[in-house]
Amino acid sequence: MKTEEIARDLISRSTVSPVTSEDSFAHLIQMLKKHDIKSELREYGGVHNLYAGFGDESVCFNGHMDVVPPGNGWTSDPFDPVVTDGRLYGRGASDMKGGLAAQIAAFLELKERGHSGASLMVVGDEEQGGRRGTSAMLQDLREEGRLPKVGVIGEPTDLDIQVGMRGIVWLDIHVFGDEYHASKPRLGDNATSDLPEVLKTLNGLEMSHSEDDKLPKPTSEVTAINTGDVYNSTPSRITVGMDIRYVRSQSPKTIVRDVESALSEVEADYRVEVRSHSGEPFLLENRGFQEAAVSAVESVTGDTPEAVTSGGASDGRFFAREDIPFVEIGLDTEEVHVANESCSVHRMRQLKESYVQLAERI
């Protein structure tokens, strides 16, 4: 099948995250079988994932089947893909069923060319954190002695080469007060009274760190406020959620210390906790692999891709945890999670050929 046909088939299947149905992989399993490639489904916490390989399985193509909900504002059915003016429209076209289609097509072509070996890892949980997808599967492969030598991840990059990323920590800042009936105000300390000053401090947070010339500057953002859902009582606790993207001179411990230090100037009863630490900052140190990726894309597109370290989270952090060199190369970043999501069919074909060329250079 051509890359576009594979992409159409993938988009036509509603696989809103996480993927809990085996049927979502049935057609892909049959496609691989026609090329004499055995595949296996692996389930982690009710989420289904597919793994297939041939030869020494040294090059791992990693992508995710799950997509975010389509939301509103579409001018066509998000799960009925259409091509208009050279662009393929549908939920996941850019993130990342277009990239996944390019990976599958490249994987099949490498098998037909007699390549020494590659593997295909298609996971059903990336959009919700990846713990029941790439993270769990790489742990299993390590125990089985089957870890790949390198990884090629298809997340959107505008066909640039993603070689690094900041770490991610989510914090819960609990602000405490007295709980009492709303009809009898001022019987105690209402936690909402302290909230404005707490938010002002958190929004102006400055974190201690050394300048990192390879990664973007660290960022912090208040992303959630939870007071509970009781309207006739004051909250005994308000939880403020924060998203922190941090660099190599920082750690969850130093970040918590910085937040506590900033809040010490506020007259409030509070506690800071790490809610989630989903990835360390990383940077690809394998120059040879990075240069091979640049050369592969350049040979196909005629343009020299940039080595980038910006962007959001990806399953690359799990490859980094296993000390597996990897790069991310994918489609349009501006189309991620938007209504009328689309990708260029021409760029999708170029991406597929870039994957083939990269595997041949390793």
Picking from 260, 277, 294, the residue at the C-terminal end of a domain is 277
147 neighbors 320 (Cβ within 8 angstroms): no
Torsional class of 186: left (φ above 0), alpha (ψ -120 to 50), beta (otherwise): left
Q: Are residues 17 and 152 in the same domain?
A: yes
Q: Are residues 304 and 318 in the same domain?
A: yes
Per-residue pLDDT at 43: 97
Backbone angles phi, psi at 28, to 5 degrees: -65, -40
Q: Are residues 203 and 296 in the same domain?
A: no
Q: Are residues 98 and 128 in the same domain?
A: yes
Question: Is 335 among the residues known to form the active site?
Answer: no
Per-residue pLDDT at 93: 98
Per-residue pLDDT at 311: 79
Picking from 253, 277, 301, the residue at the C-terminal end of a domain is 277
Question: 3-class DSSP state for residue 76?
Answer: coil
**Structural domain count, the chain:** 2
Q: Are residues 106 and 200 in the same domain?
A: no
Per-residue pLDDT at 187: 80
Q: Are residues 353 and 342 in the same domain?
A: yes
Which range marks the domain in which residue 231 is found? 166-277
Backbone angles phi, psi at 44, to 5 degrees: -130, 115
Torsional class of 117: left (φ above 0), alpha (ψ -120 to 50), beta (otherwise): left
Q: Are residues 173 and 158 in the same domain?
A: no
Q: Are residues 193 and 74 in the same domain?
A: no
One-letter amino acid of 104: I
pLDDT (tens digit, 0 to 9) for every residue of the chain, 362 residues total? 799 999 999 999 999 999 999 999 999 999 999 999 999 999 999 999 999 999 999 999 999 999 999 999 999 999 999 999 999 999 999 999 999 999 999 999 999 999 999 999 999 999 988 999 999 999 999 999 999 999 999 999 999 999 999 999 999 999 999 999 999 877 889 999 999 999 999 999 999 999 877 899 999 999 999 999 899 999 999 999 999 999 999 999 999 999 999 999 999 999 999 999 988 898 888 889 999 999 999 999 999 999 999 877 899 999 999 999 999 999 999 999 999 999 999 999 999 999 999 999 98
Q: How many CB atoms lie within 10 A of CB 334?
A: 10
Q: Are residues 306 and 357 in the same domain?
A: yes
Alpha-carbon dihedral angle through residues 77, 82, 87, 88, given to the nearest 10 degrees: 70
81 neighbors 88 (Cβ within 8 angstroms): yes
242 neighbors 170 (Cβ within 8 angstroms): yes
Kindly name the residue from 57, 66, 160, 258 that is annotated as catalytic.
66
CATH number at 97 reads 3.40.630.10
Picking from 249, 277, 305, the residue at the C-terminal end of a domain is 277
Rounded distance, CA 341 to CA 336, Å?
7
Q: How many CB atoms lie within 10 A of CB 27?
A: 14
Kindly name the residue from 4, 57, 125, 126 that is annotated as catalytic.
126
Q: Are residues 149 and 171 in the same domain?
A: no
Q: Are residues 52 and 154 in the same domain?
A: yes
Rounded distance, CA 252 to CA 234, Å?
32
Task: Report the interhelical angle of 287-301 vs 345-361 (nearest 10°).
Answer: 140
Q: Are residues 139 and 271 in the same domain?
A: no
158 neighbors 99 (Cβ within 8 angstroms): no
CATH number at 221 reads 3.30.70.360
Rounded distance, CA 16 to CA 313, Å?
18
Question: Is 229 among the residues known to form the active site?
Answer: no
